[in-house]
Amino acid sequence: MPNLDTGNTGFMLLCSSLVMLMTPGLAFFYGGLVGRKNVLAIMIQSFVSMGWTTVLWWLCGFSMCFSGDLKTGTDFAGIIGNFHWAFLRGISLDMPSPLNDTIPMIVFCAYQMMFAIITPALITGAFANRVSFKAYMLFLTGWLLFVYFPFVHMIWGGGLLASWGVLDFAGGIVVHNIAGIAALASVLYVGKRRVRDHGPHSIPLVALGTGLLWFGWYGFNAGSEFRVDSVTAVAFLNTDVAASFAAVAWLFMDWTTSKQPKFVGLLTGAVAGLATITPAAGYVSPTSACLIGLIAGCVCYYAVALKNRLGWDDALDVWGVHGVGGFLGIILCGVMATKAFNPAGVDGLLRGNPHFFFVQLAAVLLSSCWAFAFTLGMLWLINKITPVRVGDTTEAMGLDQGLHGETAYLEEEGVPV
């Protein structure tokens, strides 16, 4: 490639690896939060996405997301791309990426694939311990094809929402909002667990997962600049600052309520801050990132409390952390964005641009409605094909043994010495 920049390309390969690491991190995070009988069932739902989403990405996903655009009329109504790059045909060694011609298209393809892998895996925490693996595989396929791929194209692929002027730096709508709202729809459709889960079986696993997610998130956010420059550095710093402020805010909210500082609260708050800063990471100042983190810690904490009060069995708080966090981040980007920290961005409401704020609001309301309605409809359809929910006997036994014939931990009795 004539314009290949080895520094930018090497950086993006590193960021792709970091984002890939987030999916195993998510598996550990979720695995620690469930009971001992359901650890493997929730973890395999993340790991299988690494395999099956990659297959779909090669087959048609990358093309649906990034081939064609609304401006030239080469996509389908600005909602999905065309299929010219299906099976990655035509992607050659010397083809530049669309956002930065110093990076090969094949590196751009790999980086975006890692986003596609983790996004549907986020949803799995909501319906933990009660959904069959066969139904999940159908859900994973349908949700990628009809929710994730269209929103990637609409925002990042030159589609409808991009033409409105919507900005989503690293996935407030594309990743967190639509996954969190789909999680809420899933919870309402599937219903409550019949077997009570006694809470996290391994908080150290939750901590390990949080550490891997936090570490990988630097590739998630800083890599979304697609080059190494000062905006990359701002996105990196904002990511850490927002996570830290949100973690401390959640810790103190929890401490005030329960009279004890809870480790799981600290960890959950950090993830809420990471999710909320994601759409704004490259568009706001570090000071704004501090404020976004504080708001995220408080608002997401109360969203989880509201969920508990309403009796929604969102097992691992996907809606409260990712759905609300992504929604909040898009809105706060509309409020706090500034060209002073990203000349290629826009100024937000606080800098005299209410139009951008209302564009962001309209986009996140649209994404929420689409993700909720489609997920409900898809689950209804899947249930006609195969039962979405496992039987009472399997749920009581635990999905590890009941569905997969495996257990995470050997029982103490009867184990050979």
Q: Roughly what angle, to the nearest 10 degrees, separates helices 230-258 and 286-310?
A: 40
Name the average pLDDT for the chain. 96
Given a cut of 60, is residue 189 above it in pLDDT? yes
Q: Would you say 172 and 361 are in contact if contact means Cβ atoms under 8 Å apart? A: no
Given a cut of 70, is residue 109 above it in pLDDT? yes
Q: Tens of pLDDT along 398-417?
A: 999 999 999 999 875 444 44
What is the average pLDDT across 53-68?
98
Confidence category of residue 197, pLDDT binned at 50, 70, 90: confident
Task: Give the class (CATH, top level) of 6-404.
Answer: mainly alpha
| pTM reported for the whole predicted model | 0.96
Q: Tens of pLDDT along 124-183?
A: 999 999 999 999 999 999 999 999 999 999 999 999 999 999 999 999 999 999 999 999
Residue 10: closest CA among 94, 95, 111? 111
Decide: residue 316, CB within 10 A, 0-12 exposed, 13-18 middle, 19+ buried.
buried
Q: Tens of pLDDT along 214-265?
A: 999 999 999 999 999 999 999 999 999 999 999 999 999 999 999 999 999 9
pLDDT of residue 199: 81
pLDDT of residue 206: 98
Confidence category of residue 198, pLDDT binned at 50, 70, 90: confident
The two most distant CA atoms of the chain are separated, in Å, by 72
